[in-house]
Amino acid sequence: MTPTDAANELWETVRSTLRDSLPGETYEMWFSKIEPTKVEEDFVELLAPNEFSAIWIQDNFIDLVRKELSDAAGRELEVSLVSPVSVEENRSPSRSTRGAKAGSSRISKGAFDDDRKVDVSGVGVRQEINPRNTFENFVVGPGSQLAQAACVAVANAPAQAYNPLFLYGDTGLGKTHLMHAVAHHSLDRFSRLKIRYVSCEKFTNEFIRAIQENTVTAFRHNYREVDLLLIDDVQFLAGKERIQEEFFHTFNELFESQRQIVLTSDRPAGEINKLESRLLSRFQWGMVSDIQPPDLETRVAILSKKVAAMKVNISVEILEFLAKSVARNVRRMEGALTRVASYASLVKKPVDVETVGRLLHDILQEEALSRISIEKIQKKVTEYYHLRMADMVSRRRPNNIAFPRQVAMYLSRVLTDHSLQEIGDSFGGRDHGTVIHACKTVENMMDQDESVKRSVDFLTEQLSHGVE
């Protein structure tokens, strides 16, 4: 069997699985025109009909594609998405056509400016740093100005400016982007710099594997002989005593030998549960900076820059709509833009706000739900039932107050991620058993009384769509 035949046979198996598991429209739009171009022992290259399709599949379906390909082949496979443009560019001998390592597959060329990878000297490993994540491509806003300036200082003078540098903020605000930018800029200035970028989860998994395989010495060499160590999401150290012990000694070795450490977390170090005090103190030795969600103007600027890089025509009205609708997570906002740009490219006509609303229905729904707080629920319920906010937390139990209060508890349970105890605390310090009873009461009433169901459904709809 020729390599081409093997590639076609493998992809045909996966294509059949995707056709059965995905909605028909999704499969037809994104996967029906995908063709395999290369299958090697541990690597598969897939050709998308255009660059937008490659980006969209990479951002939304790459894990699924990699899993199905690996299952069909009976071995772990790397996956690379390419477009006709990237294939043409990669014909140059100076370009690599290989994709990322398994677990972090990306589009090879076409979507990126170059194919730079960071060499980790002494261990023979190449860790990929996203070429798009540079200081030049990072849009600075009021909420990220300090963090960006600190990263630039570290990149210009590793281990001399701020060591360690600890960045924290919610998911999708640019922490990883800045870490990659530090790596790129440092390498531009110091070409022989030994660098390692890794997630805390991967650090943990590698250490566990090293114990199992009796290769702890090699593991320590990998991490303690670098000039710049970047660890993403250190909150995953929480509760892992053996891992914390290992990381403590790794931190000490690097710090004492005057080598740079950069860490990120989704929360301040002091709020990481079950983090040893000796690690907590070390995380706070150097520079600590948070990254806040960008304001509206910054979000529009971010989208404008991404549109310019994509070379697509998206109206300012659409960009402002996206910036207002997806406000808390830049990564999700950029993903929403990619979806809109992909659609516009495929249908070959401008899109309006109404079309974008339909196209992003799932994202907009999730965004609306993420903005729902217990306080907003209480306010909406009191308005609907003509009560006072004080009635939500009072100990009074007449039915005209007690049942609306139970409805508010039920909605808080259904529409937020708060625990039973947190909900109870918000309703005058009630215990979790009271919240459970309230939820069951409302559910039973909805089954028995159609008017109650209509009322609860109406409130749910109002809250889900952000109606004040």
Question: How would you classify the pairing of strands 118-120 and 78-82?
Answer: unpaired
Superfamily of domain 145-290: P-loop containing nucleotide triphosphate hydrolases (3.40.50.300)
State the SS3 of 302-329. HHHHHHHHHCCCCCHHHHHHHHHHCCCC
pLDDT tens for residues 373-383?
A: 899 899 999 99
CA–CA dist 438, 434 (Å, integer) = 6
- Domain 374-464 fold is Chromosomal Replication Initiator Protein Dnaa; Chain: A; (1.10.1750)
Tokens of 227: 């000039």
Q: Where are the domains of the chain?
A: 3-112, 145-290, 296-370, 374-464
Task: State the greatest distance between any 2 C-alpha atoms of the chain, in Å, as a whole number.
Answer: 80
Domain 3-112, what architecture? 2-Layer Sandwich (3.30)
Domain 296-370, CATH number (from 1.20.58.710, 2.40.50.100, 1.10.8.60, 3.30.450.20): 1.10.8.60
Q: pTM to 2 decimals? A: 0.54
CA–CA dist 372, 361 (Å, integer) = 17
Is the predicted pLDDT of residue 461 greater than 50, yes or no? yes
pLDDT tens for residues 317-346?
A: 888 888 888 877 788 888 888 888 888 877
Is the predicted pLDDT of residue 68 greater than 90, yes or no? no
224-240 average pLDDT score: 90
pLDDT tens for residues 88-134?
A: 444 444 333 333 333 333 333 222 233 333 444 423 223 457 788 88
Return the higher-pLDDT residue of 391 and 328.
Answer: 391
